[in-house]
Amino acid sequence: MKTLCVAIAAVALSFPVNPVLAQQRAASKISASDSRQIATTVVKLLEQGHYSRQKIDGPMAQKILDTYLQNLDYNRLFFTQEDINDIKQKYGPNLAQDLLAGNVEPARQIYALFRQRVEDRIAKIRVLLKKEYTFKSNRTIALDRKKEPWPANMTEADTLWRDRIEGELLQEKLNKLATEPGPKVVGRRYDQMLKSLEERDDDDVLQTYLNSIALTYDPHSEYLGKSDLESFEINMRLSLTGIGAELRSEDGYAKIARLLPGGPAQMSGKLSVGDRITGVAQGKDNFVDTVDLKLDKVVEMIRGKKGSLVRLQVIPGTAPDPSKRKVVELIRDNVKLTEQEAKAEIIERDLPDGSTQKIGLITLPSFYQDMEKARTGKSTSRDVAALLKRLQQEGIQALAIDLRRDGGGSLDEAIKMTGLFITQGPVVQVKDANGDIDVLKDRDPNVAYGGPMVVLVNKLSASASEIFAAAMQDYGRALIVGDSSTFGKGTVQTMLELGRFMPMLSSSANQAGALKLTVQKFYRVAGGSTQFRGVISDIVLPSLTDSPEFGESALEHALPYDEVEPAPIDLANNRKPLFVDDIRRKSITRTSQDPVFQDIVQDVKQVNDRVKSNRLSLNEKIRRDELERETAERDKEKEDEKKAEGQDHDRYYELALADVDKQQLKRLDKDPNSLAAKKAAKGDGADRSEDDLASNDDEEAGNVQADAIKRETVNILSDLIEQTKAPRSAAR
């Protein structure tokens, strides 16, 4: 799976073919000798430099072939099992030798067969689109074809495609945002697929094949061809302009893998990780269908000038029915740096005995660091230290660090952040491919905050976030609260430009592309890896992101969990009484009686049941009934949330970095992240577009979950304060 970031750049688009550029592209094509040299270099670097040191032998070559076939035919729709058997029999026995010799001819021949199958199938699809459909059958289709076998033969494939086209037509009929007849939309989609296929040249085939080789080693190693490398370099130079979304190509969709803090996408609150983009429109122009479009093409369509409007048609990641659509309007803009900063708030709560609790909450979008100005530039740890100082001046009795959606960042800052809460000592262990382990330590004996503490996480908390959360847990310094675990990315990658390893390359150096290579692995001070398993929460709260579809364990070829020897740490001067068992029981009692959490539990069950069954009805009445039930459930959830907000009598105070020296902090009427607060900020909807209103339900559903989890986190901290006053047990 290829990932590109579209948090980028003011790039003007012109879709008509420029003959000069076409000539330049033709002139810059990779020669046969260079392609062999590039392939050989990629294989050698993977064998010798990848963390696993996996050699290209017969079994590994078979895995690479499987990955390549899956990358070509990700939904197992165009090849048949007969094709797969023939391919493996013809190319499998000698593939290891071919790979080591840089022979990519098998990839070209397999691609030629795939292209023929697609062309033949689209000719048959055009016939199917002319038929009449009643949508009254009791047949079903697979939601996720990756979990299904390839059709046995062409006859079985024809039957599968008959049902699939009927399903696509029904999906368009149920799509409330549809403006054109279903057959026209679906037909144009396959015309676009054919056009995209025709535009692919030998360089594209080489890139797909080499990327398949890299991905077979692990999901974070990948080959970047010349165009992808150029996009990566643009990201590095201009990462502060655009919509702020990282996209991953998955099952024919551009799927949102990450939202950049402070970017228009994240700030809108209308997009979430896991959402799938089905169409892109420039301004008020018509949508261009992006299903089965190459990822770099989708990225190009989303890029644009600062201040310009882009509209995205999206299938929400949590939608059980793929016919559900929403339209998100975004203004391309600079990422607001202040929104990337750590920020805080104070929650004041009156207790029955007349006393008042003060709880601090710091939200950390990423572990940021200005590498060029190490001592004076932006720094997560310095900013958090400043917030902590003011929070303690305000008399907070407990603290939460919110790492939900924090995808990581600077390892150095994760170590320094840990140092704010422990005396000193090891924070993380890093192991390389040779088995050598480096123990990275906090060497500052000072502690910025030593009171009761919770770290709030979800499945989108990754990398540096996991290092910090793991250290807090291993030192007994904080309760980990949230999803059952964090993401589980415990590996380190380096970028290698291949031109540096190929002095005899006849093309320009950047023509060879680059290899992103996994070279190290993180381990906790307690010895376990953060890889694959992530950090396991002490207290689990119901959440829509707590799904087997999210996280490292959901990715193909993920490196396994393992352990190293623990690093000796000072628990005596760091460990705090956390009363895990007592506080967990109280939390479970509350959430089991909370209507909002029970709504979330029901939503999670529906999504998981749909994923498990992997079937979707072709009966229009059944589908409409399901959508009506979903609408009724959403209405109930909104009412439950309104009741919960009505019972919230806490007081909220805002603390941004710009406020740390102000005499008086700003009092907010209500929780700034609540549903009511966000609605008030947007107005009553009178001046909102139909597209905006259409996306409202899913946006509100996400707010409802976030509000409930935040409220329960404050409840947990309140319990921790009370338990700390009169400790009975320090059991974890």
How far apart CA 180 and CA 288 sit, in angstroms, is 12
SS3 257: strand
Q: Measured in Å, how far apart are the chain's first and last C-alpha atoms? A: 40
C-alpha–C-alpha distance, residues 127 and 643, integer Å: 54
Alpha-carbon gap, residue 313 to 315, rounded angstroms:
7
DSSP 715: H
Is 144 designated active site? no
463 part of the active site: yes
Q: Which of 474, 483, 599, 671 is catalytic?
A: 474
Q: What's the CA gap between 360 and 395, in Å, rounded?
A: 9
Q: Please write down the HEC assignment for all residues of 448-511.
A: CCCCCEEEEECCCCCCHHHHHHHHHHHCCCCEEEECCECCCCCEEEEEEEHHHHCCCCCCCHHH
User: Hey, is 327 helix, strand or coil?
Assistant: strand
Q: Write phi, then psi, for 118 (nearest 5 degrees).
A: -65, -45
Q: Exactly one of 489, 516, 521, 576 is catalytic; name it.
A: 489
Residues 528 and 534: their CA atoms lie apart, in Å, by 10
**Cα distance between residue 332 and residue 308, in whole Å:** 6
Radius of gyration of the CA atoms of the chain, in A: 27
Question: Whose CA is closest to 404, among 720, 710, 169?
Answer: 710
The SS3 call for residue 19 is: helix
Q: Is 704 in contact with 382 (CB distance < 8 Å)? A: no
Classified as helix, coil or strand, 528 is: strand
Q: Which of 391, 446, 454 is nearest to 422 (CA)?
A: 446
Name the active-site residue from 35, 463, 587, 617: 463
Do 526 and 427 touch, CB atoms closer than 8 A?
no
Helices (H), 542-661: 580-593, 595-613, 620-646
Residues 226 and 444: their CA atoms lie apart, in Å, by 44
Phi, psi of 666 (to 5 degrees): -75, 125
Beta bridge partners of 360: 346, 399
Residue 316 burial by Cβ neighbours in a 10 Å radius (0-12, 13-18, 19+): buried
Q: Helical H runs in 73-201?
A: 81-91, 95-101, 105-128, 154-174, 182-199
Q: What are phi and psi of 697, to 5 degrees?
A: -60, -45
Catalytic residues: 463, 474, 489
